[in-house]
Structure 1
Amino acid sequence: MLTKPQDFPAATLLDGITLTVLSSDDADRLAAAYRRNRDHLAPWEPVRPDAFFTAKGQQAVIDAKLALHQADSEVPMILSEAGRIIGTVTLTGIVRGPFLSANLGYWIDAACTGRGVGTAAVAAVIDTARETLGLHRVQAATLLHNAASQRILAKSGFERIGLAPQYLKIAGQWQDHLLFQRIL
């Protein structure tokens, strides 16, 4: 099932926030969002080089993500409010065949946390995973102390399935993660 950006129409979530597939035209806005949230995201993400926070750096990231999208192995989406990017939600590692699974990743702008944006975005992407992509399962991982993300996953019907020691190199260190899944 090959998917194209046009298979994912824009969705309005709440309070005028839209969820759309990432576009090659989003580099400037995405770089601005990452610069605005650099300190907010630092404890939860890999160490990023300074070039990552530039439009040129984001253009390279976008080009790679859109290539994976065209290959039907990733769906990169952005959240926007009043023309400003306030987060991303991405399905990665999409596997077909008997597995029909993907990984979920997301972040929300520091100024937008606590408003239900993350929960609404995850719910919309889960619907896309089921209805548009025909997936059976979505997995997510959080750092052990990321209670906010764990609440979003719980509200979205995910169940905890285990602990992955030294799962990802986050903030410069290999860190344990809790694993969650949702059967669709």
Structure 2
Amino acid sequence: MINGVAMREVSPGDAAGLAETLRRNRVSMRPFEPYRPEEFYTEHGQRERISGLLAERAAGRLRPYVLIEAATGRPVGAVNLGSIALGPFRSGGLGYWVDQAWAGRGLATAAVNEVCRIAHEELGLHRVEAGTLVDNTASQRVLAKAGFEQYGTAPKYLHINGAWRDHRLFQRLLHDDPPTD
């Protein structure tokens, strides 16, 4: 736990709290997010989204986590390790966000470090990748503090806030052990 916030796997019971937190942060997150339909910001929309996340987790392709304020039980962020690939690649893709009211307190860095620990110790992944918009310096700072290095730029990588946007690509190599499967 850091600053009274704990990280745990997301559950269906998080739907209402996530919907409220996402609605409250909608404007501040818009420049960094793909288009989201109105349903995304509702409890029902989050319940459906969580159901999909948990199905991906059951298939071994995703580890979805939520950051919870210990005093209130309210979600204040999320972090996902997705696109999990085993075999010779042994990699996963990282995504995260933190409630604007909690930004700058080290929550994202702590969550990213914990997900990297899980990726290494529980999943045996070799590397974790992340991409940020080229001008998202706050997210780039999080990644740098968590030991990620930039390895490239991807032109028109993701459709964000209404247009195809360039991204900086980062990775953190976790170990150099050979694959076990």
Q: TM-score, normalised by structure 1?
A: 0.92
> 1:101 and 2:119 equivalent?
no
Aligned to 1:15: 3
> 1:118 and 2:119 equivalent?
no
Local SS of the residue matching 1:80: strand
> 1:71 and 2:59 equivalent?
yes
CA distance in 2, matches of 1:67, 1:145: 33
CA distance in 2, matches of 1:51, 1:154: 34
Aligned to 1:132: 122
Shift of 1:57: 0.5
Local SS of the residue matching 1:182: strand
Aligned to 2:28: 40
Aligned to 2:43: 55
Shift of 1:132: 1.1
CA distance in 2, matches of 1:143, 1:38: 17
| Amino acid of the structure 2 residue aligned with 1:173 | A
CA distance in 2, matches of 1:87, 1:15: 13
Structure 1: state its 5+ residue gaps. 1-11
Aligned to 1:88: 78
**In 1, are the aligned partners of 2:3 and 2:105 still within 8 Å (CA)?**
no
Structure 2: state its 5+ residue gaps. 175-181
CA distance in 1, matches of 2:23, 2:146: 28
| Amino acid of the structure 2 residue aligned with 1:161 | Y
Given candidates 112, 122, 142, the residue that maps to 1:152 is 142
Q: TM-score, normalised by structure 2?
A: 0.94
User: Runs ≥4 in structure 1, deviation > 6 angstroms?
Assistant: none
Shift of 1:83: 0.8
CA distance in 1, matches of 2:126, 2:135: 28
Identity across the alignment (%): 51
Q: 1:165-176 to 2 correspondence within 5 Å? A: 165-176=155-166
| Amino acid of the structure 2 residue aligned with 1:95 | A
Shift of 1:15: 1.7
Note the alpha carbon deviations across 1:106-146, whole angstroms, 9 max, x for none.
Answer: 00100011111111111111111111111110000000000
RMSD of aligned residue pairs (Cα, Å): 0.6
Note the alpha carbon deviations across 1:52-75, whole angstroms, 9 max, x for none.
Answer: 000010111000000000000000
Note the alpha carbon deviations across 1:138-158, whole angstroms, 9 max, x for none.
Answer: 000000000000000001100
Aligned to 1:5: none
Shift of 1:25: 1.4
| Amino acid of the structure 1 residue aligned with 2:10 | L
